[in-house]
Amino acid sequence: MENKKGIHTKVIAIISAVFTIFWLFPYLYLISSSFKPGSEVVSIPAKFFPKILSVENFIDLFERLPVLQYIGNSLFATLCSTVIAVVLGALAAYAIQRSGAKLAILLIVLVLCLKMIPTSSIAVPIYELITGMGLYDKKIGLIVVYAAINMPFVMWTMLGFYEGIPSTLDEAAYVDGASSLRTFISIILPICKPGIATASIFTLFLAWNDFLMSLLLTSTNAKTFTVGLSEFLSAYSMDLGPMCAGALIFSLPVIVLSLFAQRYIVQGMTAGAVKG
């Protein structure tokens, strides 16, 4: 019986590994293409492995795009908007959850609906707003929009966490003379650390990977890397090498981060769906 289970597990392990490699094929292809000499990327016939390894594409990438500037913009916009979204979202969600008012239920439903809005549909009114405010092609403009778009998700995540904290905890702190803000920062937040982590990571991903908003709201100053990458789309085949290199550089940090933050990602995605 022991052996049967052992073999059974081994077979499953092998099948899983095969499936995984099969599934990751597109990404592996990207990695392989990035290290091909430029002319080989779009060879006819197409091949998977490079004949020779080369970093031509990376060099070309840096020549064609101000890579560091774009990545810097992406990073700056991502980090700032995440901080704003998480701080304001956590506070607002706390206010809603602890208010106990009937209005709260309405607001919660509203937050849910806001989460569902397709960004591409409100993109143009937002563009008009931002230009009207004089924030076009400014990093601040992008930051503010990212923060607003991702706030509903932060609120939704934190709402769930606050629900699990009995208000007796708030009471106890209050009786001890702590102000509401103090209670929030010193008592509630530490307990909600996983929630904050989850909300932060998702907001980071969403802002980093965003394309449309940046396309609309930035030009030369505040352009992010996704828009830079998209410029290779209409290009000739010679530019596909640098495009692959760029896509690789762009996606790698996110993947590495995700491998470390697995727990929070899983939590964020399954929150509320699974009991216990």
Partner 1 sequence: MRLISKRTLIAFFLPGALFMGVFLIYPIFKMAYDSLFVFDLTGVGEFVGFDNFIKAFTDESFLQPLKNTLMYIGIAVSVELVFGTIFALIFESNYKGSKVVRSLMMTPLMIAPLVAGLIWKLMLSAQFGIINQLLVNIGILENTSSILWLADERWALLSCCLADIWLTTPYMMLMILAGLQGLDGSMLEAARVDGANILQQVFSIKMPNIKPVLLTALSVRIIDAARTFDIVWAMTQGGPNGSSELLSTVIYKTLTRYNKVGYASAMAIIFIIVLVVFTLVIMQSLWNPKKKNA
> Looking at 3, 44, 63, 220, which residue binds partner 1 (CB under 8 A)?
44
Q: How far is CA 134 from CA 108, 218, 227, in A?
A: 32, 12, 21
* Nearest CB to partner 1, comparing residues 62 and 211: 211
How many residues bind to partner 1 according to rule CB under 8 A? 99
The answer to whether residue 187 forms part of the interface with partner 1 (CB under 8 A) is no
If 0-12 CB within 10 Å is exposed, 13-18 middle and 19+ buried, where does residue 32 land?
A: middle
* Nearest CB to partner 1, comparing residues 126 and 197: 126
Q: How far is CA 107 from CA 55, 99, 104, 111, 134, in A?
A: 53, 11, 5, 6, 31
The residues near 213 (Cβ < 8 Å, ≥ 6 apart) are: 119, 123, 126, 142, 145, 146, 149
Q: Which of 115, 77, 119 is nearest to 93 (CA)?
A: 115
* Nearest CB to partner 1, comparing residues 53 and 269: 269
Residue 174: what residue type? Y
CB of 241 within 8 A of CB of 228?
no
Nearest-approach distance from CB 191 to partner 1, in angstroms: 16
The answer to whether residue 270 forms part of the interface with partner 1 (CB under 8 A) is yes
Nearest-approach distance from CB 158 to partner 1, in angstroms: 11
* Nearest CB to partner 1, comparing residues 59 and 257: 257
* Nearest CB to partner 1, comparing residues 44 and 52: 44
Residue 29: what residue type? Y
The answer to whether residue 117 forms part of the interface with partner 1 (CB under 8 A) is yes
Nearest-approach distance from CB 215 to partner 1, in angstroms: 9
- Give residues 206-265 in contact with partner 1 (rule: CB under 8 A): 208-212, 226, 229-230, 232-233, 237, 240, 243-244, 247, 250-251, 254-255, 257-259, 262, 265
Q: What whole-number distance in Å separates Cα of residue 157 and Cα of residue 3?
A: 45
